[in-house]
Chains A and B, each alone.
Chain A
């Protein structure tokens, strides 16, 4: 059974760098075809795709946040890490990781981790 679980700080101050971790179970970050995404959702608002990393290390970013985002994977810990620099209260959101699976859609999502940006 494949599961994903996000973790990270619940509260971050403006201008700091937010680091979020997605831990995969039942699937290796290095398995051919593995593609892991980060998506966020501000309270009461729609979903926004942030970034993706593939099993072979290819990376893709939202053009709106590209200069602030960095995605990476830790093969040893079987994790996908997202860093968001220079955070602002507008970055307050639930952050989800999700894998590309059946039909190339995002078929398995983690429960999410809520991040509040406030001084």
Chain B
């Protein structure tokens, strides 16, 4: 199974500042073609299902504000939230769909400082 770890477990950022979340995979999540990283990022607010933010490691889902960006390849990935807004308070999960069983990271809680 592909194990995902996230760091930090939680962070508090001032409004308007940047939040950076890291995700490390126990093995590569590159597709069989070698062209796509099958890694997604989700945002989950209390009482709501996860919301897809980023897929293919760096492609923003339609309607997601451009302050959210994803980067990385192979086994190391980053989600960056530029200019943090109050509505960005949530838990963020990375998720690999390169192989079954699908797996998720443990989550990173983002709060306002």
Contact = CB atoms under 8 A, between A and B. Distances in A.
Contacts, number: 62
A37 B106 CA distance: 19
Given A104-B55, A109-B50, 8 more contacts: A46-B107, A63-B1, A100-B97, A102-B52, A103-B55, A104-B97, A105-B55, A105-B97
Contact of A52 (B1, B100, B103, B106): B100
Contacts of B51: 109
A118 B95 CA distance: 30
Contact count band on A:
20 to 34
B93 A47 contact: yes
A48 interface: yes
Interface residues of B, number: 26
A47 B93 CA distance: 8
Interface in A60-119: 60-63, 96, 98, 100, 102-107, 109-112
Given A47-B93, A49-B103, A109 B59 contact: no
A105 B95 contact: yes
A104 B105 CA distance: 18
Interface string B10-48: 000000000000000000000000001010101000001
Contact of A104 (B1, B38, B49, B101): B38
Contact of A109 (B49, B104, B105): B49
11 contacts: A37-B102, A47-B107, A48-B104, A63-B1, A102-B61, A104-B38, A105-B95, A106-B40, A107-B52, A107-B61, A111-B48
